[in-house]
Amino acid sequence: MSRTNESSPLPGSLSVNPRLDQWIRLIPATPGGRDTVGVSPGKVDIGQGISTALAQIAADELDVALERIAMRAPGTDASPNEEMTSSSLSIEHSGIAIRYACAEVRATLLQKAAERFGVSVERLTVEDGTVSVVGGGQSATYWELAEPGMFSRAATAQFPPKSPDEFRLIGTSVKRLDIPAKVTGRPSYVHDMMLPGMLHARVVRPPSYEARLASIDDEAAVRALPGLVELVRDGSFLAVVCETEAQALRAARALRNRAKWDDRTRLPAQAVVHEHLKTLPQSLHVVGEKTDAAAAATGARTLSAAFTKPYIAHASIGPSCAVAVWNEGRPEIWCHSQGIFPLRVDLAKALRMPEAEITVHHAEGAGCYGHNGADDVALDAALAARAVPGRPVRLQWMREDEFQWEPFGPAMSIELTASLDADGRIVDWTHELWSNTQSTRPGRQPEGTWLLAGWHLADPLPKPPPRMIPIAGGGGSDRNAIPLYDFPNQKVLHHFITEMPVRVSALRSLGAFANVYAIETFMDELAEAAGIDPVEFRLRHLKDARARAVIEAAADRAGWKGRAAGDGSTGMGIGFAQYKNKQSYCAVVAEVSLEEDLRVTRCVAAVESGLAINPDGIINQTEGGVIQAVSWTLKEAVPFDERGIRCMTWDDYPILRFDEVPEVDVVLIDRPDQKSMGAGEAAQGPTGAAIGNALARAIGVRVRDLPLTKDRIAKALV
Amino acid sequence: MTDTTLTLRVNGAERTVTCDPETALLYVLRNDLDLKGARYGCGQGQCGACTVLVDGKPVQSCNVPTSELAGRDIVTIEGLGTPEAPHPLQQAFIDEQAAQCGYCITGIVMSAKALLDANPRPTRAEIGAALRDHLCRCGTHARIVRAVERAAAALSAAR
Ligand code: FES
Ligand code: FES
């Protein structure tokens, strides 16, 4: 780890949040307790276990026991602003900031000890926060050495963090700190919060996107229901606030039955949505281009293929929930947003008050896998609580609220064309894709809001113009669209469709899932055309040693069967990608069996994320990514028709069940000499592609439209 | 419906609650008895996040009126163990690190408890079948199955 010189920006999130005491606080023991170190990241735990990994980093850099680290949940009043917890960047942003901050805190305290003991720093050693002179003599703890205001200053990053051979905890599979409470059912989520005098609320949403409230038939009858404290009505935003949750459920049902709506919703039919999207207003962007006319001229055969991916739901197991309270005209909100600071920007607009008067705390929710209803429900709770000042309100979405209103991962279309020369090398490659934006997260746009209730208020806020995520920042729909292989000619075209018939936003891995599905299944088609084994074919086009290593490791562990033809019902396939073309490397080998439905029986994943902070954490995230991607690939598509989203229950949106889950085996390649990278989104694309390739191997034909349902497979076979 | 006073037997103790008898057990557990381990996922009996045991059998507490449970034996996740002294099943989930967000886990542990009580050494397929009504969106399934196997081995060894 090299020293940062004075002129370069501070590492990770220190660059925008340089104050050391924003990150690290030495907290002296209260009677009967122990001295601790408070660590305040701005990144939130969304079930990915980031808190534990960050605690490991802090404990190692400070030389204290892990038990002394107290991780604090982020809040807009006390945490560094790290914007969004997304894109698998927490280890790179927060982890590196904490490493440098802790190294500097430790060095500062050692300096203090050296002065106090009258020895040089080199003669000091630290053991669990106690600094002592080597060979005996004086000692003092960090908490005794610390002085008020000592860390109320900007970091300099002049103190190098430890090198891998000095790590004690980094690189080991420390058990997650939160799991004992979770498996024993202790309150763990915002859903479980209970504040004194807390009321319960539910929203009553319009029946579809463009429906607006016309009237309520006998509103007084709803108001007279037992336990009803307030009926909140602001334009088409409706909520009931009751003494108990059961009363809120009943009141919401009654209100729903009495609300009349003007509905002008017109969606395209689901069967033609991909063609429809292509006809909508759009801009065209060339996101990657490479030309070598001489090489292109050697093309002997050209192949093309077209792919589609449907809208996919985040489908969190716990519908979104928030708690809010207004005191003296100022709201305080607890929610499971992935970005409490950006959320606050939009809350300020919708509540029409200064940002500084709003406090937002992060509290854990169920896994979100991207931008679901977590931000929307925060505004809902704030609007409901505003009607009952001084009383906390817990507002929980119902399952159908989440399925109807969450912003889905967008539908995409992709067309690929490639030419092979006489030796079976790819000499020309074109990737053209069509999609809406992959992010409508709050906070970034100067006008309007992406928060749902904001559109429904009597004085509504407009929807902002959608924004493209630049490819330099990892890209959105074009994430992983630029091939990782060495092609002499390539062109990547992105049709950014600005009109959004269906509400969309970020879903784990964004465009990478569809792009990798297309690229990697097309690579197999080309390998087939060239008469070369798919693993060998990939390696011939790939120089990057780290990429080659994951492909070889996955093939090896899986017992790669080469080009052995399928037997009509079973097959094995491979998929590979480096997430965002710059983060974790992952290759997956899948085995499938075509029974009544397509089943995935086994997946072997090889993953490399640089220095592995917590190896088991990476394996857990990779297993989860594989299984979730199996579900996306085999089963998932949000149902809708011209009148609206037709997704209310788990019957409408089946996901993979326990008895359908493949055996999953993860090979982790640790590279302690390389920087640590997030790993939560690396496996999705490769898994989907491996399944598509295994299916083609099994039945001899390609299915290019996701999901791979039995109807689609049957159609491909005739 | 008017509120009624009901006596429930929860985790071995008699508890008295006053509620509309039609109220689903889930809300009584969470809000009246402050037992937050059973969780709302769908309210329609489709996800298993709210599962508790009634007379030893897994029941989706979102889907059963509290009045039907008077006099029956209700066990929730809090009735198994604590973070300091987890039940062997919970310990197996900790040992296998079988959770991502963890929201689905408490319901799954309850169904696993009922399974192992009835069938101390289930096969993988039997575990999969017993957990079929539970949804996990994080994809923790493989670890969960391993945790149930580990618990089965530990509990059998202790017998
Ligand atoms: S919440 Fe009871 S089954 Fe889903
Ligand atoms: S661990 Fe998150 S839903 Fe199962």
pLDDT tens-digit readout, A501-559: 999 999 999 999 999 999 999 999 999 999 999 999 999 999 999 999 999 999 999 99
> Does residue A385 contact residue A197 with C-beta atoms inside 8 Å?
no
Helix (H, G, I), strand (E, B) or coil at B70: coil
Q: Is pLDDT above 70 for B49? A: yes
The whole-number average pLDDT for the span A6-10 is 65
- In one-letter notation, the amino acid at residue A149 is G
Contacts of A623 (CB under 8 A, 6+ apart): A605, A664, A666, B139, B140, B142, B143
Please indicate whether residue B50, judged by its CB atom, sits closer than 6 Å to ligand 1. yes
The whole-number average pLDDT for the span B144-159 is 94
Q: Is pLDDT above 60 for A4? A: no
- For chain A, residues classed under CATH 3.30.365.10 are 12-183, 191-263+314-405, 280-311+408-438+475-717
The full length of chain A comes to 718
Within A482-533, residue ranges assigned H as helices are 512-530
Q: Distance from the CA of A82 to the center of ligand 2, in angstroms? A: 25
> How high is the pLDDT of residue A1?
35
> pLDDT band at A2, cuts 50/70/90?
very low
Q: Is pLDDT above 90 for A429? A: yes
A631 in contact with chain B, both atoms CB, cutoff 8 A: yes
Q: Which residue among B28, B36, B62, B103 has the greatest number of ligand 1 atoms within 8 angstroms of its CB, and so is best to mutate?
A: B62
Distances from the Cα of B81 to the Cα of A125, A184, B143, angstroms: 41, 6, 20
**Which residue in A has a C-alpha nearest to residue B66's C-alpha?**
A246
A620 in contact with chain B, both atoms CB, cutoff 8 A: yes
Instruction: Please give the full DSSP string across A22-53, using - where no structure is assigned.
Output: HHEEEEPPPTTS--EEEE--SS--SSS-HHHH
Q: Is pLDDT above 50 for A157? A: yes
> How high is the pLDDT of residue A8?
63
Q: Is pLDDT above 80 for A564? A: no
Q: Is pLDDT above 50 for A151? A: yes
Q: Do A178 and B102 touch (CB under 8 A)?
A: yes
Q: Number of C-alpha atoms within 13 angstroms, CB side, residue A475? A: 27
The whole-number average pLDDT for the span A673-692 is 94
Q: Do B138 and A658 touch (CB under 8 A)?
A: no
The whole-number average pLDDT for the span A197-211 is 97
Ligand 1 atom closest to the Cα of residue B50 is 2
What is the assigned CATH class of domain B4-79? Answer: alpha beta
> How high is the pLDDT of residue A565?
56
- Give the tokens for residue A149: 């205001």
> How high is the pLDDT of residue A173?
93
The whole-number average pLDDT for the span A126-132 is 96
User: What does pLDDT average to over chain A?
Assistant: 94
> Does residue A559 contact residue A589 with C-beta atoms inside 8 Å?
no
Distances from the Cα of B142 to the Cα of A42, B96, B149, angstroms: 31, 10, 11
> Does residue B114 contact residue B152 with C-beta atoms inside 8 Å?
no
> pLDDT band at A13, cuts 50/70/90?
confident
**Which residue in A has a C-alpha nearest to residue B79's C-alpha?**
A184
Lookup result for tokens 């492909």: A551
Q: What is the 3-state secondary structure (H, E, C) of A635-674?
A: HCCCCEECCEECCCCCCCCCCCCHHHCCEEEEEEECCCCC
The whole-number average pLDDT for the span A406-434 is 98
> How high is the pLDDT of residue A6?
45
> How high is the pLDDT of residue A561?
82
Tens-place pLDDT, residues A592-646: 999 989 999 999 999 999 999 999 999 999 999 999 999 999 999 999 999 999 9
Q: Closest Cα partner for A509 from A341, A306, A679, A361? A: A679
Contacts of A547 (CB under 8 A, 6+ apart): A484, A576, A578, A585
CA B148, B154, B156, B159 torsion-angle sign: negative
Nearest to B47 among A48, A317, A621 (CB): A317
Kindly report the CATH number that applies to the domain delimited by A280-311+408-438+475-717. 3.30.365.10
Within A156-272, residue ranges assigned H as helices are 179-183, 219-223, 245-258
Please indicate whether residue B76, judged by its CB atom, sits closer than 6 Å to ligand 1. no
> pLDDT band at A36, cuts 50/70/90?
very high
Q: How far is A398 from chain B (nearest CA, A)?
A: 7
> Does residue A175 contact residue A56 with C-beta atoms inside 8 Å?
no
Q: Is pLDDT above 90 for A446? A: no
The whole-number average pLDDT for the span B109-115 is 98
> pLDDT band at A9, cuts 50/70/90?
confident
- Give the tokens for residue B58: 């897994």
Q: Strand (E) positions, A465-536?
A: 490-497
Residue B28 DSSP one-character state:
I
Kindly report the CATH number that applies to the domain delimited by A12-183. 3.30.365.10
> How high is the pLDDT of residue A91?
76
Residue nearest (by alpha carbon) to ligand 1 atom 3: B45
The whole-number average pLDDT for the span A310-326 is 98
In whole angstroms, give the CA distance from residue A79 to residue A61.
Answer: 20
User: What does pLDDT average to over chain B?
Assistant: 96
Q: Is pLDDT above 70 for A699? A: yes
The whole-number average pLDDT for the span A680-709 is 96
Q: How far is B158 from chain A (nearest CA, A)?
A: 21
Ligand 1 atom closest to the Cα of residue B135 is 4
Kindly report the CATH number that applies to the domain delimited by B88-158. 1.10.150.120
In whole angstroms, give the CA distance from residue A268 to residue A614.
Answer: 46
* Alpha carbon distance, N-terminus to C-terminus of chain A: 58
A367 in contact with chain B, both atoms CB, cutoff 8 A: yes
Nearest to B77 among A48, A179, A185 (CB): A185
> How high is the pLDDT of residue A83?
78
Q: How far is B110 from chain A (nearest CA, A)?
A: 10
Q: Do B102 and A655 touch (CB under 8 A)?
A: no
Helix (H, G, I), strand (E, B) or coil at A716: helix
Tens-place pLDDT, residues A217-260: 999 999 999 999 999 999 999 999 999 999 999 999 999 999 99
- What are the b/e assignments for A361-384, b being 16+ CB within 10 Å? bbbbbbbbbbbbbbbbbbbbbbbb
Burial class (CB in 10 A: 0-12, 13-18, 19+), B48: buried
Topology, domain A191-263+314-405: Aldehyde Oxidoreductase; domain 4 (3.30.365)
In whole angstroms, give the CA distance from residue A655 to residue A653.
Answer: 6
- Give the tokens for residue A534: 């798919």
Contacts of A34 (CB under 8 A, 6+ apart): A67, A68
- For chain B, which residues make up each domain, given as ranges? 4-79, 88-158
**Which residue in B has a C-alpha nearest to residue A50's C-alpha?**
B100
A196 in contact with chain B, both atoms CB, cutoff 8 A: no
Tens-place pLDDT, residues A57-108: 999 999 999 999 998 888 888 778 877 777 677 777 888 999 999 999 999 9
Q: Do B104 and A623 touch (CB under 8 A)?
A: no
CA A361, A363, A369, A371 torsion-angle sign: negative
